[in-house]
Amino acid sequence: MSKKIGNPISILIIAIALLLNACSPAKDKVTVQLSWFHSAEFIGFYTADQLGYYNDENLEVALVAGGPETDPIASVFEGTSQFGVTPGDSIIRAQSAGQEPVAISSIFRKSPLIVMALANSGISTPQDLAGKTVGVVSPGLDTTWDIQFIAMLKKVGVDPASITFVPNEEFYSAADLHTDRMDATSGTFSTNELVQAKIDGEDVVPIYYGDYGVEFYNNLIFTDAKLISSDPELVQRFIRATLKGYQYAVEHPQEVAAFTLKYDESLDVAFQQATIEAQIPLLDTGDAQIGWMEEDIWNNTQAILLDQGYIISPIDLTKAYTNDFIK
């Protein structure tokens, strides 16, 4: 009995597909160390991943969740990741210590950091905090959030010694404000705690650090200067795809909110969508393209670090950041 031979055209198509697959270059694998747990805070990365923008750039990207103990700069310099997310003061402090992290894009072009108080507390300005008890991220006042809070107090002439500091315990709502532990909470995000407070029906007042002359880049995408030197084309492809993801997310917040659940299925999609919508004016400010960094904000950050003694002398900021991959 003769064997049945398959359709020659089908066999040819399969053969061509196998040949093309064999000839296509292997994807460049890169790892990104995020600064915090998976959430819509990183929606541009998720969008670039889910819509194939990384694939279009021949990249296979692993997005690693962070947390309070995560040090993205250490991750990059130990070689466990090629890119990371970190605030601007961390870049400057690492450069001052002899490392060479370089910021290649900013996620938030405007700071989301706020002090939050209940509307009936009588607190609506930083000056109102004098004599009050305020929640902080760290009792040592040495995190990026606390450094910026202290800087805001100094900008408006409030002596930090006039305030009692206690550690925040609740990072996802205004719950701390309903205890007798504090009158206001600092270091919170207008794109997180404030969003949750409003969803919960809380009547709260946000005090934006940026309104009082404290603008840090709180979520920077960075890499090692050595990677920029050895493979600038890889860095360019990664940033191009990531910023394309952020642009799409800004334009389609309802669509992309569900992407967050691909990375943590326990997330609430409605809250993630509200977070994305709160982020839009901070991501896309209208005065420059998404991801662009300004010299004035870097100068402001360095001046605050010098004032608070976190660095003893200025660094060359042109080595700390570059917009070359955004142009």
pTM of the model: 0.91
> In this structure, which amino acid lies at residue 190?
S
**Residue boundaries of the structural domains of the chain:** 28-110+217-319, 113-212
Q: What is the pLDDT along the chain (327 residues), one digit of tens a residue?
A: 444 445 556 555 555 545 544 456 799 999 999 999 999 999 999 999 999 999 999 999 999 999 989 999 999 999 999 999 999 999 999 999 999 999 999 999 999 999 999 999 999 999 999 999 999 999 999 999 999 999 999 999 999 999 999 999 887 789 999 998 999 999 999 999 999 999 999 999 999 999 999 999 999 999 999 999 999 999 999 999 999 999 999 999 999 999 999 999 999 999 999 999 999 999 999 999 999 999 999 999 999 999 999 999 999 999 999 999 998
Cβ-contact 43, 256 below 8 angstroms: yes
Q: What is the DSSP letter of 33?
A: E
Nearest residue to 114 via CA among 194, 216, 199: 194
The answer to whether 28-110+217-319 and 113-212 have equal CATH topology is yes
28-110+217-319: CATH topology = D-Maltodextrin-Binding Protein; domain 2 (3.40.190)
Which CATH class for the 113-212 domain? Answer: alpha beta
Q: Rounded CA gap, 112 and 110, in Å? A: 7
Neighbours of 1 (CB within 10 A): 3
